[in-house]
Amino acid sequence: MQSILMDVDTGIDDALALVYLLSRPEVRIQAITCTAGNVGARQVALNNLALLELCGRSGVEVAIGAEAPLKIPLVTTEETHGPQGIGYAELPPPAQAISERHAVDVWVETVRAHPGEITGLITGPMTNFALALRREPELPRLLRGLVIMGGCFNYQGNTTPTAEWNVSVDPHAAQEVFAAYSGLPSDKLPVVCALETTERIELRPEHLQRLAEAAGAAGPELVLPEQPEGQRSASDNPLVACLADAIRFYMEFHRLYDQGYVAHMHDAFAAAAAIGRTPFQTRTATVHVETQSPRLFGTTVADFRGLWNEPPNARIVTSNDPAQCFDELIASVGSLARALPASGHRVYP
Ligand code: BDR
Ligand code: CA
């Protein structure tokens, strides 16, 4: 079994990351903690609970932590991920309640209870984890490993010309996290999945068609650029319908920013990387997060050559295999979807 502790800001690609991990029989999700980012933290938690229920899972703790970044006001991005963070998907209110524990308590208590066993996966701003590190500075040594989706290195940002979203929401938290890893043995350094490799995980309409086939859905799943914006899935498979409705929104967003009718599945790649089911290579580096310069606020800089004479604090992913990653995501999520009861053919006006 692989034990994963997730911190997310669900989020369309976070949603795919979660569903993918739920589809893996060898993965135990210890808990899911929620950070404000794509949408507010409470909405993130409701999304995670609703997705768990959609996938037929109960008993996974979902906890809220920081509802704002460490030092700056919160910005959210409903423009990117939809009014509730899951695009056009609408899920019923979850029956399971949000945990009464604070996310920081969840991190510290869970990792202390299972030293050397837990892999952390952070696919949102690093606020909760930075706060957890303040409480328990030994977390980097107590964790089995840490995988982060965040930053961009020698590559344009998606929030400012040089900054990536998760880091730019809370750059001070990201800086604290990288500082906490300075000088640790390289197998303990966080694996950083940054935009230059996660933007290669480009989901296209044919991937959704393949997912519906893998799920054994009754009809083809057609999410196409010529269709009216906001059209909803008619799939009889509730998981396929949810993902198609979420991802259609994300594709429309990417098209709006001249990236084509595609959707970058940053967080799903990070999830597959965290459990070793998609190949990637890394290079150690010293990462600095800029928090002073107004124009460069949230920019991540990597010193790969030791020019700063500071010890490494990260392993940055330098190559990955998008085709394999999609094969893995589709096969695994497809088989989970296939096992769910059909919801009947949905008809939208
Ligand atoms: C990251 O920002 C969020 O919008 C996505 O969920 C992903 O985690 C990509 O920059
Ligand atoms: Ca995210």
**Domains of the chain with bracketed CATH:** 2-201+263-328 (3.90.245.10)
Instruction: Give the H/E segment covering residue 32.
Output: strand 27-34
CA distance 180 to 138: 9
Pick the ligand that lies closest to the CA of residue 199.
Answer: 1
Active site residue 266: yes
- Nearest alpha carbon, ligand 1 atom 8: 123
Ligand 1 pocket mutation pick from 84, 165, 203 by most atoms within 8 angstroms of CB: 165
CA distance 344 to 236: 5
Question: Helix H segments across 92-216?
Answer: 103-113, 127-135, 139-142, 165-169, 171-180, 195-198, 205-215
Please identify, by atom number, the ligand 1 atom nearest to the C-alpha of residue 159: 10
| 164 alpha carbon – ligand 2 mean position (Å) | 11
CA distance 112 to 131: 15
For residue 48, report the phi and psi dihedrals to the nearest 5 degrees: -65, -45
pLDDT per position as a tens digit, 120-151: 999 999 999 999 999 999 999 999 999 999 99
Please identify, by atom number, the ligand 1 atom nearest to the C-alpha of residue 10: 6
Note the pLDDT of residue 346.
Answer: 53
| 84 alpha carbon – ligand 1 mean position (Å) | 15
Look at residue 285 and give its three-state secondary structure: strand
List the beta bridge partners of residue 121: 6, 147
Catalytic residue among 207, 264, 266, 288: 266
Note the pLDDT of residue 348.
Answer: 43
Is 317 within 8 Å of 206 (Cβ atoms)? Answer: no
For residue 205, report the phi and psi dihedrals to the nearest 5 degrees: -50, -35
CA distance 190 to 17: 18
Tell me how far the alpha carbon of residue 204 is from its chain's centroid.
Answer: 18
| Residue ranges around ligand 1 (CB below 6 Å) | 11, 13-14, 38, 80, 123, 149, 158, 164-166, 266-267
CA distance 121 to 190: 10
User: Encoding tokens for residue 20?
Assistant: 């993918």
Note the pLDDT of residue 342.
Answer: 83
List the beta bridge partners of residue 122: 7, 148
| 23 alpha carbon – ligand 1 mean position (Å) | 21
pLDDT per position as a tens digit, 160-217: 999 999 999 999 999 999 999 999 999 999 999 999 999 999 999 999 999 999 999 9
Please identify, by atom number, the ligand 1 atom nearest to the C-alpha of residue 81: 4
CA distance 115 to 184: 16
Please identify, by atom number, the ligand 1 atom nearest to the C-alpha of residue 264: 9
| 212 alpha carbon – ligand 1 mean position (Å) | 25
Peptide bond into 82 cis (omega under 30): no
Look at residue 335 and give its three-state secondary structure: helix
Confidence of residue 78 (pLDDT cuts 50, 70, 90): confident
Ion ligand 2: residues, Cβ under 5 Å: 9, 11, 14, 123-124, 267
* Residue showing tokens 């210890």: 30
CA distance 105 to 195: 30
Q: Under 8 Å CB-to-CB from 330, ≥6 apart: which residues?
A: 207, 210, 211, 214
Q: Is a pLDDT exceeding 50 seen at residue 252?
A: yes
Q: Which amino acid makes up residue 84?
A: Q
